[in-house]
Structure 1
Amino acid sequence: MKQRNKVVTLLFIAGVINYLDRAAFSVAMPYIKDYLSLSPTEIGLMLSSFFFGYALFNFVGGYLSDLFGPRKVMAIAMLSWSLFCGLTGLAFSYIILFIIRVLFGMSEGPISTNVNKVITNWVPVHERAKAIGIANAGNPLGGAIAGPIAGFLIVMWNWRVAFIVLMCLGFVWAFYWLKSFTDKPENHPTIAQSEIDEYHASLQHTAASQTAQAKLPLRFFLTQPLVLATGIAFFAINYILYFFLTWFPSYLSMAKGLNITEMSMASAIPWLLGSVGMVIGGTVSDYIFKKTGKLLFARKLLIVAGLIISAICIVFAGIVQSVEHAVIMMSLGIFFMYLAASSPWSIISDSISPDKVGGVGGFVHLLANSSGMIAPILTGLIVDYTGGNFIAAFALAGVVGVIGALSVAFFVRPIKTTNKKNAFLSEADA
């Protein structure tokens, strides 16, 4: 087995733990709601509290990975969020739980940008989208098993014990990560030279554009249409994701009358399809690139098609009457959303100089995860205002998805450095 495949496997497991810890809170929310006597608006605020810290540290974590390397940053992030996951089970008031969730979000913030940094450092260009898809497929798989696992732990003991048990998984992963991973393949003691050579040979696809970017400062990239439009598309992907992650379990409970066991099993189905969609999306994107030789086109096509089909399915999920049809349409919506989800990371990895991938990826992820602060609160307000009706909330998620698709279709173009290069180079050399 190639060493980079072992690295991607470790990232996949980190994603499983990440979403298992995160999604368990939504599964436990009906119990937390009763314990703290929360209204829908208060539930929305609590569900959004995670993202107040998470979105900011998407950028901070990515920037730190450029400075100190993803090995240290990933280990600290995993240990920290696992600790706050456990502390969630010890909270006894709304304010304390809110603060813990903010700190939990701050700790999880670096993971996705660091995953992208690791893959940029380790995986050849022609395999990156597939590797990103596999690594991030752990996220929806974690969400899928969170329902049954958290539901089982809650039924067997209580919601507090569930978070303490989940905390231990992250500690074990961090131990193996520090033991087996290096920031770059050439620093690994057991990697084959042929694997290193294959990686460097693949860089010819992006070498010219990234060499021209080498001395440009980070702020140059943060204003580029490619980066901003990718951020808007990622915002749309995550709006759909966080609408589903934070509210779909409660929707099944509040609007469809499912109990904790039924809700846990039903909400797992979209996650499972999402995991499959993530892998397929990355694989298909790499296949299109190999067939056409058009790298950016291969990434854009998956985003535009995936988001538009996802948006249609999400709207129908809010209209249909039966639980079965709602779960089917939501499952298809999440599948196509995840079909698009690896491509924003691939665009950044393919288009940005490696020494800036962490910072730029973190900025894009910050834009994306601002949706986590908006979607849960806005959904709670809509449900409150409409007297418990979710249709408008589903429709809004669909509209956001279409806007994200159009932003990529019309505004993602290769970065041009010729116009501003000299001005930025003079500042960088000063």
Structure 2
Amino acid sequence: MTSDIAAQAESGFKRRWAHIVPIVFILYTIAYLDRVNVGMALPSVSKDLALSPTQAGFVGGIFFWGYVVSFLSAGWLANRFGAKRVILVALFFWGMFAMGSGLAQTYHQLLAMRVMLGLSEGPIWSSVAALLTQWFLKDERARAFGCWNLSIPAGALLSGPISGLVLSYTNWHVMFALEGLPAWIGAVIWWRMIPPGPASAAWLPASERTHLLAGLTREDERFRALGPTDWHGMFRHPALYFLLGANCFNNLVQYGFALWLPTAIKDASAFRIGSVGVLSAIPYIAAGIGIVAATLSSDRMRERRLHAAVPLISAGVLLYLASHAVSMGIAITMVLFTLSGFFLFMTLPLLNVIMTDVLPRTQAVAAISFTGGISNLFGGTVGPTLVGWLKAQTGDFSLAFSVLGGLGVLGGLLVLAIRVPRGAPVGSEAGAAVGRFKLLAERGGIDE
């Protein structure tokens, strides 16, 4: 009986990862590509629409004015209507406005399309977070969030070569139209492939479904034993504000770096736009490796805080060094940009997992919406605009990227100030899905 249960557990474990994670990964890769592809288009857009560097930065950052409106309400929407429905509606509208950006003929028309694109994409992040907390227990969650967050460097990585290729043969109008279409294709796949929850997943073995739902119930019960779980308790938790500050600086550095990286490479070299697109992808290849390494190590060591803080501090230091290496040539600059990318994207998935470690699941989703909405508005608007303004003042990126580096170090120090309570230890339920089933079977906790 034990061997049969263990086999069922392993089958259910593999099926959850095979059904949920790849689709979430592809979905958010498309979302992030549509968000940052404007960085590749900025040189052409600036020339065609006669934009200053500050205006160009605002084109990149205004996305988040729409994004924050729907992002802040996404936790409530996901809990009220279900993550599956919310994401489906978002996919439809984001595809429409992503393609609509290609129709813009003036600066203000492009700003309007970018705001509406942000409004459409806003619910995705918190809804996906809510979905993953339904499908993965605490000791799996860093890996699940890490696999999902791999889509961020993946989207940026694909944006460079794909957008560069399209721009080499057409223009930025065509680029926006072509790269918005996959959102509608993704909507069809999403609706057909993702169940509303574990209870309705016909492909999940019954024993694994029962165990998963019981594990989620135990997680919530542990928090209920510690005190009230009303949303007011979320705002009374000190960690929320440290995480908010860390998220703000993390996003400021990420978006300031990501949206201006192609222009920085182009300014530091004599490469054509297609080659710039390829070079701009390299830091995101490193970022993908970094996310996998950080989240696997975090789950293995059952530690979150240092795994989130040290990479952000390291990225800040490396970005500062990169800002002063332009005179040494493009090769040295690209090495430092690549190392910055390796560390820069490690922090975000672990900040979200820390939320689920210190708060009940329903509060954690709301907290992710709250901190993510504000930090995306702050970081996504201030980051690109600040870099553009500093470039306009100095004529290059040295001061701008130095400031980003310093703010990255500050964000890492805020993460170090967080204390995870002993009442919510990482991986407290067991080490892995198969191991949990074997233990239950040996104790007679599961019937054939």
The answer to whether the superposition gives a TM-score over 0.5 is: yes
Matched position secondary structure for 1:333: helix
Aligned partner of 2:340 in structure 1 is 333
Contact conserved, 1:89 with 1:159, CA < 8 A, in 2?
Answer: yes
Contact conserved, 1:214 with 1:353, CA < 8 A, in 2?
Answer: no
CA gap 1:329/1:205 in 2 versus in 1, 3 angstroms: farther
Displacement of 1:402 in angstroms is 1.4
Q: Normalization by structure 2: what TM-score?
A: 0.86
Query: Any unmatched runs of 5+ in structure 2?
Result: 1-13, 425-448
Please identify, of 202-211 and 139-148, the stretch whose mean Cα deviation from structure 2 is larger. Answer: 202-211
Displacement of 1:89 in angstroms is 0.5
**1:34 is aligned to 2:41:** no
Contact conserved, 2:249 with 2:408, CA < 8 A, in 1?
Answer: yes
Q: Of 290, 294, 305, which residue of structure 2 is paired with 1:300?
A: 305
Aligned partner of 1:254 in structure 2 is 267
Contact conserved, 2:305 with 2:418, CA < 8 A, in 1?
Answer: no
After the TM superposition, which residues 166-185 of structure 1 pair with which residues of structure 2 at under 5 Å, given as runs?
Answer: 166-185=179-198
The residue identity in structure 2 corresponding to 1:285 is S
**1:97 is aligned to 2:110:** yes
Contact conserved, 1:15 with 1:137, CA < 8 A, in 2?
Answer: no
CA gap 1:415/1:219 in 2 versus in 1, 3 angstroms: farther
CA gap 1:364/1:25 in 2 versus in 1, 3 angstroms: same
Displacement of 1:258 in angstroms is 3.2
Aligned partner of 1:346 in structure 2 is 353
CA gap 1:83/1:264 in 2 versus in 1, 3 angstroms: same
What is the total number of aligned residue pairs between the two structures?
408
Aligned partner of 1:382 in structure 2 is 390
The residue identity in structure 1 corresponding to 2:316 is A
Q: Of 172, 175, 189, which residue of structure 2 is paired with 1:159?
A: 172
- Alignment partners' CA distance in 2, 1:62 and 1:253: 40
- Alignment partners' CA distance in 2, 1:299 and 1:408: 10
Displacement of 1:285 in angstroms is 0.8
Contact conserved, 1:281 with 1:342, CA < 8 A, in 2?
Answer: no
Contact conserved, 2:90 with 2:124, CA < 8 A, in 1?
Answer: yes
Q: Of 351, 360, 364, which residue of structure 1 is paired with 2:367?
A: 360
Contact conserved, 2:24 with 2:128, CA < 8 A, in 1?
Answer: yes
Query: Any unmatched runs of 5+ in structure 1?
Result: 290-297, 418-430
After the TM superposition, which residues 274-313 of structure 1 pair with which residues of structure 2 at under 5 Å, given as runs?
Answer: 274-289=287-302, 298-313=303-318
Contact conserved, 2:268 with 2:330, CA < 8 A, in 1?
Answer: no
Contact conserved, 1:232 with 1:367, CA < 8 A, in 2?
Answer: no
Contact conserved, 1:124 with 1:198, CA < 8 A, in 2?
Answer: no
- Alignment partners' CA distance in 2, 1:397 and 1:282: 24
Q: Of 141, 163, 166, which residue of structure 2 is paired with 1:150?
A: 163
- Alignment partners' CA distance in 1, 2:362 and 2:246: 24
User: Per-residue CA shift, 1:229-269, capped at 9, x if unaligned?
Assistant: 11212222211210111111111223444321121111100
CA gap 1:402/1:64 in 2 versus in 1, 3 angstroms: same
Q: Normalization by structure 1: what TM-score?
A: 0.90
Displacement of 1:190 in angstroms is 2.5
Contact conserved, 1:222 with 1:363, CA < 8 A, in 2?
Answer: no
- Alignment partners' CA distance in 1, 2:313 and 2:115: 32
Displacement of 1:307 in angstroms is 1.0
Please identify, of 124-133 and 347-356, the stretch whose mean Cα deviation from structure 2 is larger. Answer: 347-356
Please identify, of 270-279 and 216-225, the stretch whose mean Cα deviation from structure 2 is larger. Answer: 216-225
Q: Of 314, 320, 323, which residue of structure 2 is paired with 1:318?
A: 323
Aligned partner of 2:379 in structure 1 is 371
Matched position secondary structure for 2:287: helix
User: Per-residue CA shift, 1:214-242, capped at 9, x if unaligned?
Assistant: 85332331342111111212222211210
The residue identity in structure 1 corresponding to 2:299 is D
Aligned partner of 1:420 in structure 2 is none
The residue identity in structure 1 corresponding to 2:341 is I
Aligned partner of 1:113 in structure 2 is 126
Matched position secondary structure for 2:345: helix
CA RMSD of aligned residues (A): 2.0
- Alignment partners' CA distance in 1, 2:218 and 2:414: 25
Aligned partner of 1:422 in structure 2 is none
Displacement of 1:174 in angstroms is 0.9
Aligned partner of 2:427 in structure 1 is none
Displacement of 1:34 in angstroms is 0.8
Displacement of 1:357 in angstroms is 2.9
Matched-pair identity in %: 28
Contact conserved, 1:19 with 1:142, CA < 8 A, in 2?
Answer: yes
